[in-house]
Amino acid sequence: MAGYGHPYVIHAAGLAQAAQAQQQQAEPVRLAHEQQQQQQHYQQQPQQIRPNSPPHHLQAQDALAQAAQLELGQNPNALAIRRPFDPTAHDLEANFRLTRFADLKGRGCKVPQEVLLKLLEGLQDDQGQEEHSTHFMHVPIPRIGIGMDASITPLRHSGLSLVQTTDFFYPLVEDPYMQGKIACANVLSDLYAMGVTECDNMLMLLAVSTKMTEKERDVVIPLIMRGFKDCALEAGTTVTGGQTVMNPWCTIGGVATTICQPNEFIIPDSAVVGDVLVLTKPLGTQVALNAHQWLDQPERWNRIKLVVSEEDVRKAYQRAMDSMARLNRTASRLMHKYNAHAATDVTGFGLLGHAQALARSQKAEVGFVIHNLPVIAKMAAVGKACGNMFQLQQGNSAETSGGLLICLPREQAAAYCKDIQKVEGYQAWIIGIVEKGNRTARIIDKPRVIEVPAKEKDGELW
């Protein structure tokens, strides 16, 4: 969630109801989930690739291009394991780590919500949103700003609106090219959460760490920029400018801008009782990224090595990178087809934090109850072995470039999940339900953890 409206995470402690009430609440979501599973049962056939799918690998013309090569097959599920970034191939030290050029990541980057709201009081408009609404052909065009995934500003011309968002963060992965792709996908995700599938322009925001040597700078920064650019091209847009500065920490992000007609975006405020909650990417990216860094830190690795192998960690890291770099564009496009009522993307404040923010934005008196947590395989066990420091099963673990959390009509949800898997080859999950409530969200006491993927397959990432 970009801009100024990040919610402050509210813990699920104290919100659990009696076991019988939980079972009654879980019944609709269980039935919906079973319907989803039945739909998926009939499509366990080799994934057909659409003719207009962009190629996943680039032509290697020099050392830089070779390092940036995706090395993925046409099928994202087949041999989709990227070769690790090798610093020595670029004459860098073998122990070079991009993540060492910043001290914070995930939720640690965020200003707490109560502090942020106080700081931003001066930006709040004195007049209400309705007073600022623009009309076209007697139809009101909403103005949306602080607190939402993207700002929507009615333009002076012909009923069009400017939709815009910005985001940036510090290095999360060791591969500079993938870091660029993830940063770009993360920026675009705020548009996709609003149902906007076309981006007209992007700007890149980049800070070069003052701690980098000239050699490190000349290798790493072009790779980051190339990854960002390639992801923008995959999204059907281009990078036309931006800002590059020197900074103690390396940062990468951008601005995404588009011009829309009113039917091209979905105001995220129309959830109704009986809707179900769908999540389009698995959780656990922060756990996977930390576990991978701990391979170099014996004192930390010793805490988790009894529940996970080095191979498990490296594969989870690859899965996390693949997930974070994947665009939410298809998920956004299908929101229109299946009549989504509201959506947000799951990022730095975790599943619960963003669910809380979405619930607060609803017009109807509803609440969200989450029963299922799809998690990258083995990462729930890692989280527990760490003494629950990530609070993954409480919904507080940070995600980066996570999936869309969507409120869909119950009768449409299974078909949505089937369609996204048919188009992309990736799963989506029914994770909860919308009930009558006071615009809050919670996770039940003992949510069902869904391991993603459910079974390991040799040579396949998912």
Q: Which residues are catalytic, by number?
A: 109
Distance CA 289, CA 399 (A): 10
Q: Are 304 and 355 in contact (CB under 8 A)?
A: no
Count the neighbouring beta carbons within 10 Å of the beta carbon of residue 272.
15
Q: Are 203 and 218 in contact (CB under 8 A)?
A: no
The residues pairing with 435 across neighbouring beta strands, listed in sequence order, are 367
CA neighbor of 197 nearest in space, from 205, 208, 189, 207: 189
- Sign of torsion over alpha carbons 63, 64, 65, 69: positive
Alpha-carbon Rg for the chain in angstroms: 21
Q: Which amino acid is at 65?
A: A
Q: What angle do CA 401, 315, 404 make, to 5 degrees?
A: 25
Distance CA 379, CA 173 (A): 17
What CA dihedral angle connects 197, 198, 201 and 204, to 10 degrees? Answer: 30
Q: Which residues of 119-134 are buried (b: 16+ CB within 10 A; e: fewer)?
A: eeeeeeeeeeeeeeeb
CA neighbor of 409 nearest in space, from 439, 387, 430: 430
Give Cα 30 to chain centroid, integer Å.
Answer: 25
Q: Are 232 and 180 in contact (CB under 8 A)?
A: no
Q: Which amino acid is at 168?
A: F
CA neighbor of 196 nearest in space, from 204, 187, 205, 183: 187
Furthest-apart CA atoms within the chain: distance in Å: 66
Q: Is 241 helix (H, G, I), strand (E, B) or coil?
A: strand
Report strand pairing: 404-408 vs 276-279: antiparallel
Question: In whole angstroms, how far apart are CA 242 and each of 167, 249, 364, 424?
Answer: 13, 18, 40, 31
CA neighbor of 95 nearest in space, from 174, 179, 213: 174
DSSP conformational letter for 9: P
Q: Are 307 and 381 in contact (CB under 8 A)?
A: yes
Q: Per DSSP, which regions of 15-138 are E strands?
A: 134-136
